[in-house]
Amino acid sequence: MGIFINRTLNLKKIKAIGFDMDYTIVRYNSEAFERFTHQATLKKLVSDKNYPSEILKLEFDFKRVIQGLVIDKSKGNLLKVSRFGKVKSSYHGLSPLDFKEQQRIYGNGVIDLSDPHIQSLDTNFAVSNGVLYSQLVDLKEKGLHLPDFDTLAVEIKEALDVCHSDGTLKNHVRNNIDQFIIQDPEVVALFERYKRYGKKLLVITNSDFNYTKLLLDYTINPFLKEHKDWSELFEITVTLASKPRFFTIKTPFLSIDPATGLMSNAEGKITKGIYQGGFAGKLQKDLGLEGDEILYLGDHIYGDVVSIKKTFNWRTALVLDPLAEEIEAIKKSAPIQAEIDKQMLIKENLETKLNELDLKKHEFHEEVPKEELNNLFAEIDKVNSTISDLLEQHRQFFNPYWGEMMRAGLEESRFADQVEKYACIYMTKVSDLIEYSPRTYFRPHRRVLPHES
């Protein structure tokens, strides 16, 4: 896959490159990991929240949720929203809302992501969250005694967070690492290339030191050719960074002894080593760099990208693993899309003729043959039927519930809009950069505005 460019980015001017770990440096088998997370969270809901044991029978459907959806906690709905905040498709539990019902509920209103009743599902880690919410709303509507829709969303998130924090997920990954973690030798080759070019490499992750060491030992050390250990690659490794707070709150750094895992207060300047916590402002100052000399790559549109753009002037890159499947689907469906475009042009020409006849009749009071009007209406109906069939064929290539991740009908999805606004570049995986020199000048294509086309 290539690199997709929203804004110019000259790698030659980048002196430090920071990386998130999970789903960025370290690639996961998303479906396997989210399936286990789904089951582990169900058990937490039963044991910690006293949910009925019947929910343990729920089966995981990876296709049920895509990255970029939002939960409307007040109504129990899962929504796909356009770049303009309009609801384009929706489910209540596991049942799709038809257009009329969707319009009744949301009309022309705009979904505000800052609304406390709206929860974004912006990462790969959020798939199991969305699936669970849909399933439990469905069971509640069928009569199972469960909390209200808002409480459901809160308690699912709490149970999921406990699974991440109490070792339930991490210990299972530790014991079955080859089932969940994908090794990518090209990532290591890329890092060693960047080191040769004098780039300072950083890791800034929300994972704790022990889990970070486990995954980097497994994914990096076996493929090193010019270094003995991953810790030699990275100038600074920051664990338990608590992003996005790492970019907004002045938290002190703790220094970690890699041999023992013991921590102590980090006094003075942050130098080469492994740390916990901290603040991006101090890190940047101690590196002696300007914000636009640092590039940061992560998978979380808000925690890794938006928060940086709203606080520091670091350059940003988004790693978007599900995009690889979508790109393949776009390629395979291209002939159908071309035919849809052709039929839409035919429809527009017919509608233009119809509008011209309408003007003749009402503006110039000319006689318009009824047969001519009927023929135009018949042709438009025929084209509409053809387009409808083609659209159904086109949908078969994408997610069966939500379609394309980056589109909401003819418009970009809300998620695509955020990617465009806040990520300088984006890619399907970090190793996509292996095809480019560390001195590459990335330039976007000139965007064509509606009036220019």
Nearest to 264 by CA among 249, 252, 272: 252
pLDDT at 362: 83
Q: What pLDDT is recorded for position 1?
A: 77
The rounded distance, in Å, linking the Cα atoms of 138 and 143 is: 9
Res 24: pLDDT: 97
Tell me what pLDDT residue 364 has.
79
| pTM > 0.85 | yes
pLDDT at position 72, please? 97
The position carrying tokens 């406990």 is: 162
Whole-number pLDDT of residue 268: 93
pLDDT value, residue 410: 87
Instruction: Identify the CATH number of the domain defined by range 323-404.
Output: 1.20.58.1160
Say how far residue 376 (Cα) sits from the centre of its chain: 44
Instruction: Please return the burial class of 80, using the count of CB atoms within 10 Å of its CB with bins 0-12, 13-18 and 19+.
Output: buried
Q: What is the pLDDT of residue 14?
A: 98
Q: Can you give the residue ranges of every domain in the chain?
A: 4-20+180-319, 30-166, 323-404
Is the distance from CB of 378 to CB of 370 less than 8 angstroms?
Answer: no
Structure tokens given for 70: 């939002």
* Inter-residue contact 159 to 44 (CB < 8 Å): yes
Q: Check residue 108 and give its pLDDT.
A: 87
CATH architecture under which domain 4-20+180-319 falls: 3-Layer(aba) Sandwich (3.40)
pLDDT digits (tens, 9 = 90+) for 3-15: 999 999 999 999 9
Residue 265 makes CB contacts below 8 A (sequence gap 6+) with: 252, 254, 255
pLDDT digits (tens, 9 = 90+) for 38-56: 999 999 999 999 999 999 9
Q: Which residues of the chain have pLDDT under 70?
A: none
Rounded Cα distance, 374 and 312, in Å: 62
The pLDDT score that the predictor gives to residue 61 is: 97
**pLDDT score, position 300:** 93
